[in-house]
Amino acid sequence: MSLNRSSIGYLIVGVLIAALAGRTAGWVSDKALDIVFLFSFAWFAYSALLMRIGTASAIMVSLSLFVSLLVLRHSFPSLRYMPYLMIAPVNFALSVLFARGLMPGRRPVLLTLIDIIGMAPVVDTKFQRFVARQCLLWSVMAFGTALLALAGIFFETVRPAISLALEVLIGAQVIWFALSHYYASRRYHRPETWWTTLKTMVRPDVWSRLGKMS
């Protein structure tokens, strides 16, 4: 992973957070937020595809995806991609990734992530079982989140209820993300914190590596 690509990844996450804050404050329009999300979506698609299909192909696929979604959004104004477009495919992919690591002969993806962080080896079998249960829980939560977001793209009349449900579900995930690290630290004496895990997760190459290694 180049420093350049890593820096761009951090920048895009920052712009995305700023755009969401701006929309909440009323400074950013829905259309502008859609464009920001599409750029972000295309970048993360490129990052995920880069190690699998190469630079040129990843650029072509990501650009085609961006243009196609932009045209579709313009042609059908009732569709609302954002934030649903980002949430749905990302969470479907996460659900599959977490579930696949639980199949026989595979390593749970969170154990692989701990290996990538590299702060301490995983030798405690009880902690390994705890991590496997975490993977199952995250897979189920991600799948539920993806289904809700997918409905939000198409069903305009129930979007307020869907948005509220997504806020509650994503908020619960954020809280559990922090609490699970605290529990692992106290119960299993693990050195990883929510911050070290988050810093690792936003690196553009990490999810491609997890997909290959899990």
Q: pLDDT tens across 137-174, in order? A: 999 999 999 999 988 888 888 888 998 898 888 889 98
Please name the amino acid found at residue 57.
S
Q: Residue 55: what pLDDT?
A: 74
Radius of gyration of the chain from its Cα atoms, rounded to whole angstroms: 18
Contact by Cβ (8 Å): 212, 17: no
Cβ neighbours around 154 below 10 Å, total: 13
Give per-residue pLDDT as tens, 66-94: 788 777 777 766 666 666 777 887 888 88
Contact by Cβ (8 Å): 211, 141: no
Give per-residue pLDDT as tens, 106-124: 889 898 889 888 888 888 8
- Provide DSSP, 32-77: HHHHHHHHHHHHHHHHHHHHHH-HHHHHHHHHHHHHHHHHHHHH-T
Residues 6+ apart with CB under 8 A from 161: none
Distance, CA of 32 to CA of 100 (rounded, Å) = 36
Give per-residue pLDDT as tens, 26-54: 777 777 777 777 777 777 777 767 666 77
